[in-house]
């Protein structure tokens, strides 16, 4: 989807019902064999969110639930054929992607940023010309079929090790990058050189340039490529850009904020009208979605 991922938090609907022994409680007698209880599968309106051979983590499960809510709403609104199949390993069909984009474009009400709001945003978030960082990183790439939960644990362990090592063991970062990084820069010890915002994926730049930290950053940096352990070696502050020159970028930033908030509210309403099992989503009762 063109506007990126949605972040959802939640309240789960209750799971129901008994096992395979009717409505009443049963007693086990001597000689009876205790059978393992079946593991519940997360579902949205009865549609499972993962196969038996998958084990998505909590955040991935929420994302899948949000996507499935939107896919089903697109079907309900006649934008997607009812024969469209639910996601497989977290991926939906191209037809579903297009239908969801059409759905959100049609149903979301997005206010235009006011001039006053733009000026306030610029004052709180000054933009700098030619701002640069020199950094190196260790990339833990998210690829099809990868166990994201296990990958995150490896990345977090790496982050902890390198933060403990700190600048006193600078060579350790390069050694770890050569050993573990999934980026070609690993051969160079993770070195990426001097970068501006335009040299980076937007989500990566947002995390790296929004902080004044120097050294190994205190948390993992997320991007479309995976999880990054990042060390900022140097920073160069650029010249502040006047509001008149920065206004177009400010408008885009406020529009993105408005879109994200509208999607979150839209999903809350969909969740409030859906049967959700095994995953927690924020839910709201509202006439927003008809």
pLDDT tens digits, 232-277: 999 887 778 889 988 988 898 899 889 888 999 999 999 999 999 9
Flag whether 137 is in a domain: yes
160 and 261 in a single domain? The answer is: no
Position 210 in a domain: yes
Give the end of a domain, one of 216, 240, 264.
240
Domain housing 182: 128-240
What does the pLDDT average to over 120-128?
82
d(CA 40, CA 46): 12
How far apart, in whole angstroms, are the C-alpha atoms of residue 156 and residue 148?
12
Q: Are residues 228 and 247 in the same domain?
A: no
* Same domain assignment for residues 71 and 120: yes
Q: Is the pLDDT of residue 69 over 60?
A: yes
For residues 11 and 283, is the Cβ–Cβ distance under 8 A? Answer: yes
CATH number, domain containing residue 147: 3.10.50.40
Q: Are residues 167 and 279 in the same domain?
A: no
Looking at the fold, whether 108 and 4 belong to one and the same domain comes out as: yes
Task: Say if residue 127's pLDDT is above 90.
Answer: no
Whose tokens are 């937007």? That residue is 202
Q: Are residues 155 and 165 in the same domain?
A: yes
pTM of the predicted protein model:
0.54
- Higher model confidence: residue 186 or residue 11? 186
Q: Which of the four pLDDT bands, split at 50, 70 and 90, describes residue 175? A: very high
Q: What are phi and psi of 105, to 5 degrees?
A: -65, -35
Report yes or no on 179 lying in a domain: yes
DSSP label of 277: E
For residues 156 and 74, state if they share a domain.
Answer: no
- Mean pLDDT of the 15-32 span: 39
Find the mean pLDDT for residues 147-172.
Answer: 85
Tokens for 16? 């129901």
Task: Looking at the structure, tell me whether residues 215 and 289 fall in a common domain.
Answer: no
Instruction: Determine, yes or no, domain membership for 263.
Output: yes
Q: What percent of the chain has pLDDT over 90?
A: 44
Asked whether residue 234 is domain-assigned, the answer is yes
In this structure, are 73 and 161 located in the same domain? no
The secondary structure of residue 11, as a DSSP letter, is B
Instruction: Determine, yes or no, domain membership for 262.
Output: yes
Is residue 147 located within the same domain as residue 232?
A: yes
Residue 121 sits in the same domain as residue 247 = yes
Is the pLDDT at 36 greater than 80? The verdict is: no
Q: In terms of domains, do 272 and 212 share one?
A: no
| CB-CB contact of 176 with 160 (8 Å) | no
Confidence band of 58 (pLDDT split at 50, 70, 90): confident
Predicted pLDDT of residue 30: 47
Work out whether strand 276-277 and strand 221-223 pair parallel, antiparallel, or are unpaired.
unpaired
Specify the number of domains making up the chain: 2
In a domain, 24, yes or no: no
Let me know: does 220 contact 155? Beta carbons within 8 Å: yes
Domain boundary among 199, 218, 240: 240
Alpha-carbon distance 121 to 253, whole Å?
A: 9
**Predicted confidence (pLDDT) per residue in 185-194, tens digit:** 999 999 999 9
How far is residue 38 from each of residues 17, 20, 35, 44, measured CA to CA in Å? 12, 10, 9, 18
pLDDT band at 2 (very low <50, low <70, confident <90, very high): very low
| pLDDT value for 206 | 85
| Measured CA distances, 282 to 13, 35, 62, 185 (Å) | 10, 35, 10, 40
In this prediction, what percent of the chain has a pLDDT beyond 70? Answer: 82
């Amino acid at each position: 989807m063109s506007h990126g991922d949605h972040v959802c938090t939640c309240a789960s609907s209750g799971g129901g019902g008994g096992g395979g022994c009717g409505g009443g409680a049963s007693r086990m007698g001597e000689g009876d064999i205790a059978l393992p209880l079946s593991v519940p599968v997360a579902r949205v309106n009865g549609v499972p969110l993962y196969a038996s051979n998958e084990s998505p983590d909590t955040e991935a499960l929420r994302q899948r639930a949000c996507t499935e809510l939107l896919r089903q709403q697109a079907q309900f609104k006649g934008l997607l054929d009812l024969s469209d199949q639910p996601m497989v390993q977290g991926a939906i069909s191209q037809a579903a992607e297009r239908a969801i984009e059409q759905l959100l474009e049609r149903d979301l009400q997005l206010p235009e940023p006011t001039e006053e709001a733009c000026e306030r945003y610029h004052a709180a978030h000054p933009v700098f010309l030619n701002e640069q960082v020199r950094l190196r990183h260790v990339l833990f790439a998210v690829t099809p079929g990868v166990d994201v939960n296990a990958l995150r644990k490896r990345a977090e362990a790496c982050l902890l090790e390198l933060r403990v090592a700190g600048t006193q063991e600078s060579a350790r970062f390069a050694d770890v990058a050569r050993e573990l990084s999934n980026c070609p820069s690993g051969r160079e010890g993770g070195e990426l050189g001097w970068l501006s915002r335009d040299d980076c994926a937007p989500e990566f730049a947002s995390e790296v340039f929004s902080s004044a930290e120097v050294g190994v950053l205190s948390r993992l940096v997320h991007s479309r490529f995976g999880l990054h352990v990042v060390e900022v070696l140097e920073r160069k502050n650029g010249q502040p850009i006047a509001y008149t020159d920065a206004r177009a970028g400010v408008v885009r930033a406020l529009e993105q904020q408005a879109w994200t908030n509208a999607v979150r509210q839209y999903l809350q309403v969909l969740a409030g009208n859906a049967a959700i099992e095994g995953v927690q989503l924020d839910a709201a009762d509202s006439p927003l979605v008809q």
